[in-house]
Amino acid sequence: MTSTKRALKTEDLTRLEVYSDPQISPDGNFYSYVSTTANDNDDYNSHLFVQSIQGESPVQWTFGDVKNSNLRYSPDGKRAVFQSTRSGLSQLWMLPTEGGEARQLTTFKNGASSPTWSKDGKYIFFHASLDKDDDLHNQKEQSKEERQKEQEAKKKQPLIVNSLKYKSDSSGFHDNKRVQLIVLDVENNTFTQLTRDNADHSFQDISPDGKQLLFAANLNADADYELSNDLFLLDLQSKEHKKLTDGKGGYHSASFSPSGDKIVSFGHGFEYAGATLTEIYVFDLETGERTCLSQTWDIQLGDLMIGDTRLGQSEAGPVWAKDEKSLFFIATDQGSTGLYEVSLDKELTTLYEKDNHVFGFSYDQNKEAFVLGISSATNPCDFYYLEKDGTLTQLTKSNRAFLEEVAIAEPETISVKADDGKEIQGWLLKPYGFTEGKKYPFVLEIHGGPHAMYGQTFFFEMQLLAARGYVVLYTNPRGSHGYGQEFVDACRSDYGGGDYTDLMTAVDYVLDNYTYIDEDRLGVTGGSYGGFMTNWIVGHTNRFKAAVTQRSISNWLSFYGVSDIGFFFTKWEHGLNLLDDPEKLWEISPLKYAENVETPLLILHGELDFRCPVEQGEQLFIALKHLRKEVEFVRFPGANHELSRSGKPAMRQERLNHICRWFEQYL
């Protein structure tokens, strides 16, 4: 197989344009979106674009080395509020949609985000991080120099810790600030703080009559020990709030019906801990009754697709239909995500589902149509217009020059029967320049989570390995989403058991059925849970000639106490905490089997990874090096657990180069 296009290169990563957050204008004639690209300062720019539904060329609304996002149209469509870092921190800005300069709305010391209009267009609700005694009337954004000075001073002070949840991978060490809900009176330019509890609040929606605000938070006294997230109704006149949920589950993505008498929400009660399928609930505000619309389904609601080129947030639902008789949402199923509709009578309808990744949508109530964001295995992203009759029209042609120049491998879907009869779905990529009769080295990719899903989306790392001459296999072993509740729960309390044999069975299957794979040149890699599994594999078989473990777990005993999720994750996934049965946690720790490792192992880890802290990689490196094994440790400064997905562009490329270097050396 020959190609007139060139092979993919590592530096192509910085050429990609990534779309997100489609928003249809109130009149339905236009939609806006966010485009994110790498810039020359080893960072990203995010800019706002608008395009006619008729498909005319998109028009760029914002410019410069800044991040702009979360554009929301006013109800009359004449103005748009968005968040931007153009002043230094993320603040809210207003833009006239018919042309003109943006005007800054907030100057909060810690920034402002997530704006939403009231239904009458008189108010804007948003998030702000505040200290307990902060005065909204004295909020002033610091200069870059002032922020640096404050940060330097903070580094010289000891960190006093009093809670379990004192750090997180995305935010680092926490302080005493809490996310509060603020409302801006647009006409009078005045701010009012709506919440004051010692908790982080997440705005969900404002009622159509503007009298009640819907938010999510954990306001329980034992919130530090819990993972629940409740829904609350806040009366904007009395400032009293009422809890809608029972304190035993996690609820999010909630909104009022157009008439305001019902609320819809995603959520679940942690029946299977972190492996619980999300449900869709409707709350009747008059009767207080809660109805689960999805109780007979066996699919995961929302977008659980894993990729390494998705930047920015997008709507996954649920969204009310204009007539309030049904709801729209994205669901994750069988390696794809699609757009679905459910009636209040619980009738499920597929509106759009192909072999690809619907990563976001916007609903036009007037025309009962949608703008869909879609990625496929061979196209990073584009927007499409889905009409009521099912007609699909492409609106954008992102990355056109890139796709015309670079060869992208089309995956072959495979299905493998596991030892116990479970069907394991996977995908196989042929190498660039594939020639019949030739033998090629092979790499097995293992996803993180473990409760997530590989599938029909663009994955740069897979494509790069194929471009470098490898056959690439990626699968969804038990524990993955997309195949029902029993399947996603099947790896809990069995790490290194059925999930391991699923992967090995898949490898055996492709070796038996694809003669172009060289069984003497097998490699394996994965990150997070996939890193754990890579570590487990090399401690239990020598069939792989090279391995790369990324942001991995090697020791469940220490993971319990150092990870930002360790104190509950070991219980969720293994059924026990450190003090319950340390011997059992040691039995399933890859570090225990270091003496068995004969596979050359490259360990990649971010220095600021709080999810799977760098000491996990360090322990494994020291043990293997002390045993005189073939091992190398690469530590990425300033990088957290999201290095491969949203890390600095230069570090992301460095990581890919090290993976390729290791496999080229040993395969």
Count of other CB atoms within 10 angstroms of residue 598? 14
- Please name the residue that has the structure tokens 């997008």: 314
Among 257, 574, 641, 644, the active-site one is 641
**Which of 43, 116, 38, 120 minimizes the C-alpha distance to 80?**
116
Please report, in angstroms and rounded to a whole number, the separation of the first and last CA atoms in the chain: 22
Active site residue 641: yes
SS3 22: strand
Which residues share a beta bridge with 168?
A: 172
Whether the Cβ atoms of residue 90 and residue 113 lie closer than 8 Å to each other: yes
From CA 332, how far away is CA 452, in angstroms rounded?
9
**Nearest-angstrom CA–CA distance, 108 and 129:** 9
CB 205 within 8 A of CB 255: yes
Q: Give the contacts of 561 (CB within 8 A, at least 6 positions apart).
A: 567, 578
User: Counting Cβ atoms within 10 Å, is residue 468 exposed (0-12), middle (13-18) or buried (19+)?
Assistant: buried
| Exposure b/e, 196-218, CB count within 10 A at least 16 = b | eeeebbbbbbbbbeeebbbbbbb
Residue 188 has φ and ψ, to the nearest 5°, of -95, -5
Residue 484 CA from chain centroid, whole number: 20
- Length of the chain in terms of residues written: 667
Q: Which of 207, 376, 528, 552 is catalytic?
A: 528
Are the beta carbons of 395 and 385 closer than 8 angstroms?
Answer: yes
Q: Which helix (H) or strand (E) holds 425?
A: strand 423-429
Are the C-beta atoms of 184 and 126 separated by less than 8 Å?
Answer: yes
Strands of 202-206's sheet in order across: 202-206, 212-217, 230-235, 241-243
Rounded CA-CA distance 315/467 in Å is 33
For 46, the enclosing helix (H) or strand (E) is: strand 44-52
Using DSSP's 3-state secondary structure scheme, residue 471 falls into strand
Does residue 450 have a cis peptide bond before it, meaning omega lies within 30 degrees of 0?
A: yes
Return the structure tokens found at 490: 């099947």
528 among known catalytic residues: yes
H or E stretch covering 158: none
Find out whether 329 and 318 touch, Cβ atoms under 8 Å. yes
Positions marked active-site: 528, 641
